Structure 1
């Protein structure tokens, strides 16, 4: 099966400690074509970095030997290439055939199944509902039933948007609790009784060629389904300069929207509502550090979204599933952050949060883009899109901030919960 000039696909690669290999690299296909991750020794990184589709096996072995100062055998390179080809991790005719089949199957299916149920959260309905109630909402519900932001002279402001984490529920339970306890409270007010649609914005952890991807499928959750709001999706499709459904298959394995759907379904109970699931890649704007307002395709969608929301004012609430920083050895940094560096990260994250709560889309984009390569904020797309979608009179409120620190090697994922009100 040897691939003569192996080319590695665009994959998520993280550094882990493995029982067999010690320090190792985990290769994960966020696109969902490969059924499972692959773990290889970290010492293979010099070989892996040269799987660019241009070099032969002998050339890879020679160049890796020069780079490491240690002899790398061409047979060793061939074995790694074969392993990755069998696992669908290489960009090859075999992979593309499988990809076409997976995409076709997903496109033809009416339901987007709960890909992470039983892993990132309970797959059992009763256990999941109990976890959300006890571990998430209970720790964040306001005491005494006071409405958030209410004063002695006036009613609480009306919620129009929300930002919540998109980490697994086990690690970010408190963050989810603060976000969705605020939404729970808002949904109980007379001002939000007309809400019948939730726009769910998420990060695509797989590479996107277009700025946005809408999924027109029913989202399955252990707590019950959520149907798409087809009329609104059609409006977005008709007004955008690109095909908003062309990359809907990227929703197949993406968790950032799925986790928000789980919480929305829990809070709704028997209340009817529909969703508009959107992955926000912002095309090449993030890579080029260019405000999406300057990109014709992205701006056409953002304008269409704003107009669709304006036509449904009072009936739609927008939710962004977005984490902040990803730093430490797991993400390629040489060492974990010490206490001083964690404080600096907190200050840096709060500077970005302040831009968001000030409803400053271009300021938020520029602030996050300046250190995107080192802080690795993966929520830039959905938070920027949320800010663009909010009414001009909105104001933001910081509900919660946390840094989830890996207990074994110290890597950090930070996240925030934000409420937006008018």
Structure 2
């Protein structure tokens, strides 16, 4: 009965937002919310997915596929594709919407976000996790208004994380974690309305400030809560915040694809609500640097250091519009991460009066199996 559903109802199937990764002559496609197991498909199925945009019924899809490939699909073949997509949560339908709503409701009812990488990337118990995260003692220590740190796998990059976190002096009452969007994100920015569970306890959000943000921008800022479920750019920073400053409260946010005009508007407002906390505040930009090589669509890997260093120097000086424009004008050829996140990070630090930053560490991770390179760095921006 399920196989015949789309024919019986005469629906125009629409594929849900998805990610695609080339694997030889096949493609690994997965729901862009991070849900489901994903599918390994060939080019024909990938074409069918692009044709399923909600504007075509099944007869139209078959006709367009025939025009583009010269192959006539049987009804059974098309049903099998639809069935596989539905099971992998790759169709925009009532089933997917129900699952998304259920996840969001569970998060809100629970009051905190469960970790998705505990026990895999980092230990689940507090003592083991602390031993895993903490590096050698760094001196001299200093107060900072902002830090730029990786969200690279902690097993690879924890020394670079610690170059920033390990030198921060004292405690902080309020921490802003600015992450990037690795999953489908409807709105230009979002905020997480609940705390985050860590091995060191629940990192609580600063409700009073979140309420002011909602009053200013509207309830839509909470509508991308599902995007946080597996978002490591938020989760990894939450570990350090709760471990180092147990009493701190946090504002977790994702900057996905905002315009510069809107980011300036957000920075203006956040400066107003954050200025009373300036002496007890740190802003974290959770970003990686370049992504080059076969894994990311290049013919082969290469050294992205020159591009990285030019961008890092602009960010170090808080020339955030120039850093953003540099990536824009070069089509971000090395795929530097977090261009929107760093724009808002720079805009906010500039308004709050941060001093110029210092580059603490820069490294490259080489994945020989895929002939790919990911670079990452940490910077500190002292209180002026």
Report TM bin, short chain.
Answer: 0.7 to 0.9
Aligned to 1:211: 188
Counterpart in the other structure of 1:169: 154
Give the number of equivalent residue pairs.
374
Alignment of 1:14-93 (within 5 A): 14-16=21-23, 23-32=25-34, 34-41=35-42, 44-61=45-62, 63-64=64-65, 67=68, 73=74, 75-93=76-94
Q: What is the match of residue 347 of structure 1? A: 306
Q: Please point out which of 218, 222, 225 is paired with 1:248.
A: 225
Q: TM-score, normalised by structure 1?
A: 0.79
Alignment of 1:9-408 (within 5 A): 9-16=16-23, 23-32=25-34, 34-41=35-42, 44-61=45-62, 63-64=64-65, 67=68, 73=74, 75-133=76-134, 137-138=135-136, 141-142=137-138, 145=139, 147=140, 158-171=143-156, 173=157, 176-187=158-169, 192-193=170-171, 195-240=172-217, 243-268=220-245, 271-283=246-258, 285=259, 292=260, 294-295=261-262, 298-331=263-296, 333-337=297-301, 342-343=302-303, 345-372=304-331, 374-390=333-349, 391-408=352-369
Cα pair distance change 1:355/1:65, threshold 3 Å:
farther
Q: 1:56 to 1:402 in 2, by over 3 A?
A: farther
Contact 1:241/1:301 (<8 A) preserved:
no
CA shift at 1:388, angstroms? 1.3
The Cα shift of 1:401 comes to 2.0
Give the TM-score normalised by structure 2.
Answer: 0.87
Q: CA deviation at 1:202?
A: 0.4
Going from structure 1 to structure 2, the CA distance change for 1:167 and 1:37 (only over 3 Å counts) comes to: farther
SS at match of 2:83: helix
Cα offset for 1:80? Answer: 2.0
Unaligned runs of 5+ in 2: none
CA contact (8 A) 1:30 1:254 kept: no
C-alpha displacement at 1:334, in angstroms? 5.0
Structure 1 residues not aligned, in runs of 5+? 18-22, 149-155, 286-291
User: Could you say if the C-alpha distance between residues 369 and 238 of structure 1 is closer, same or farther in structure 2, counting changes exceeding 3 Å?
Assistant: same
Aligned CA-pair RMSD? 2.7
Q: Deviations over 1:110-162 (max 9, x none)?
A: 111112212333334343322223xxx24xx54xx4x16xxxxxxx6x31111
